[in-house]
Structure formats: structure tokens, C-alpha cells
Structure 1
Amino acid sequence: MAARNAQLPTGERLQKVLAAVGFGSRRTAEDLISAGRVTVNGDVAILGRRVDPDNDLIEVDGAPIGVKPDLVYYMLNKPAGVVVTSKDTHDRRTIMDIVPTEPRVFSVGRLDAETEGLLLITNDGQLANRIAHPSNGVDKEYLVEVDNGAVSPGGLRRLRDGVELDDGITAPAKVSQPEPGILRITIHEGRNRQVRRMCEAVGNPVRRLVRTRIGPLADKTLQPGEWRHWTTDERNAMIEAVAATRLRGSE
């Protein structure tokens, strides 16, 4: 490994690249490198390493940092009725009618047409896969309005402990009922229409479903149909969140 690192490629100094994408000052970036928390193409980096941001895979704590200049990261408050696809055969409005179409982007996971709320959109495939993959445990929070009044104590317990669905029992979830018939549910799985199926299984079908948070990212000020770029701090927070869940999963 040392021999490979000793063959320094041409390019920019690694600490400069890390500082440019928001990992603090160059001194802070140097501390990350010295601590062995930064890898380049799978090798633990050393101070003085030079990198090519267009071609090298740079990771901090196991999560790619997305340093390519053409990478974009959007946060969208998806309205009801908008479908999460690039083109719809029924001529329904899609997310691509809302966010810029260049460069070409895709959603991180999905929301069904009638579900509202936070959707992450990017062209950073590596980070998107880390966020979406169930093994990384990035949690997703939903605000749910259900039918049939308040969910019973037994129903809440089933939602928290795991509900038997046709594709298996769900993982434990965080569930609260701030008022009768209104639930706040946090899950880290990504099954199709999972929250809807969970609520239906306990006798309280969903009337309205809004995703409010993905990992550390949320924005209560973003109105339905509005989008914005992630801030550098938000991108770094997501990278750190993915790395932290990955490290916990390996313990």
C-alpha cells in the first residue's frame, strides 16, 4: 500500500480538494488524511497525495465525497400527483418537469404519485446508492394522516416492533402519535409503499403521506413544487451520515 501511495500521480493536492468541497480548512483536511480517514481508489491516502477529481474515487470514512465538477444535488418538495420518473406514458407531470434537466439526474429512491414531501435528486450515483441501500440504514421520517381515528396502543406497538407484510416482517420503526390519527413514523427500509402498507395492516389506511426528512436533510420552508441545491454543509452531513451508518453496520 505504501508503495502504491509513493507513486504520486499528477493533479491537485488532496487536502486542497477536500477543503474546496467543504471539509473545513486545508489544515482540517490534513488532519483527516493523517488520521487515515481518507482513501483514494481504495488506498489509505497520505499527506502530499495528488488526485484527479474527474477520475479518482475519493472517500472520507468510506463515503464518496463527490468532487467531480459536474455533480449536482437537488432537494425537492414533491407535490401530490407528480410521478417520480423521467417520462410518464400517461402524460402526468413528472419531477423532471420541475427540476433542471441538464445535467441528467435521477431520484434517490422513490415516492409514489400521491405521496408528498422530500425527494433527493442527483447525478452522483455512488452517493445515491449509499443513501438508498437498506444496509446503510439512512432513516426516513414521514408525517402520516390515517383513517379510522386514533391508532390503538396495540397498533402502535405493532408498527414499532414490526408488521407482517406479504414480503416479510418490517424492521422496528420509531412511531409517535402527536394527536389522534396523526403519526410520525421513521423507518430505514425502502420497500415499495411500505408506510402505506404498514398502516393498512394495523387497520388505519393512509389518507395523506408526507416525507419530511431523509437522514440529516430536511427543509420545512420548501413549499410543494419548490426545489433548491443542497448546501455544502448538507452534502457533508449526508456523507458523514452514510459513513456512520456503514461503520455501525460493520461492528
Structure 2
Amino acid sequence: MTKNICHRLRAPILGAMLIPINCYWVVKSEIVIASIHATVLSIFFNVIFTLFIITILNNLVSKFSHNSLSSGEMLIIYVMLSVSTGLFGIDLMTLLVPMMGHSTWFATPENEWKELFSPYIPKDLVVTDMKVLKGYYEGESSFWRVENFMAWIKPICLWSIFIISLFMTTLFINVILRKGWVEHEKLSYPIIQLPMEMSSGKFYQNKAMWIGFGLAFLIDLLAGLHELFPVVPAPRVKWYNLAPFF
């Protein structure tokens, strides 16, 4: 009984362990460095890369043990990492966090923000302490200082409750509509096809896949090396619209 419970929980536990690493990657690349934006794409490449590493390691484990992850378990990890990527991506955190102090910090006598709309903004959802906001906008401070922590923690908690409720609502809507979409309309869900194929063993035995992967990897590698070392020639790639073929 205990063994079965542990077996069922290992995918959620592994996914929970990978979420902080995944979120750090997303925040660092999209917000701090602002170089690569995974969440602007329909399918998050950071999660695909993580799934790729997991499947490779899982295939190695399967050769020496019968406790390797199943296809369903890897998809659970994929979904967990995808949701966390969406939460910490540029279209949410980069907008939400600055919004908490924007109306106060940038209010001036000239724009009259304080008189025009500040009275209509719920005080519990924003940060209004100018000393705290100075540390946020100008730096040389830390979130963990008592005055900063106390000013930020309440709006963070309230917004977290709202965001979790919003995501849960969308999940419940999907559950309600699932039967009609899957059993009657038989939607194909193209975004999930790649993760499903990657979680199966046959995907990595496909020679055509490795040829395509190798070509794409080579082009991207040369482009990256050219960006870092201009002496490396850049690949010349033309864009083609393949939409008419699908």
C-alpha cells in the first residue's frame, strides 16, 4: 500500500522539485537578462528541454531498473512545469509586480494621478509607502528588510489568492468542457502532441526526427556562436510559410 502511494506521488514530487529551478530559469532569461522569452511561444521550449533531459535519463534508468517513470508520469511533470512557466513569465510577473507600486511612485502634481484614480485603487492590493518603493525602483535595498517585507507581503498574498483562483477556474472550465471537446468534437490538441511523442519510447528511434533536430541544432548553434564570436560565419536562413501545407 505504502509502495503504491510513493509510486503515485513520485511524479508530483519530482515536478515540485523542478519548479523552483524552472522558475529561476524563466525569470532570469525573460525579466533579468531579457534575452530569451519562452512564454511568448505557444509551446514553452524550456519545458520541452527539461522533458527531453528527463526522458533521456529515464531511458537510462529503465535499462537497469523497473522503476522508471511512465509516459503519464512524465506528462504530469510537463504540465506542472508548463503551468509554473506561465505564472512566472513575462506576461504576468513583469506586469503584476511593477503595477503594485506604479500608481504611487509615478504620481506627480502635473499628471494628477493621486486625485484622478488613486482613490479608486484598493489600498490592500498596492504598495503606497514611498520609502519602500524607493528601494524597489532605485535599488540598494532588500525585500527581506522588515519594513519592505511588511509592505509587500499583504498585496502579494492577496494577488496570489486571486491568481490561484483564476487558474483553478480555468481548470474547472476545462474539466466541464473536456467531454465535448475530446469525445464529440475530437479535438487534436496540437500543442500536446510533441510532449506526448517525447514521453514515448518510439520518438527517439525516429531517424527523421534526429535529422531534423540535428539540422535545427546546428543552425542555432552557429547563430549563437556568431553572436558571441563574430569571426564565426552566421548561417543564412530564409523564412518560408508552411501554413498552406497544413
More helix per residue = 2
Q: Structure 2-normalised TM-score?
A: 0.27
- Choose between structure 1 and 2 for higher RCO, CA contacts under 8 A separated by at least 6 residues: 1
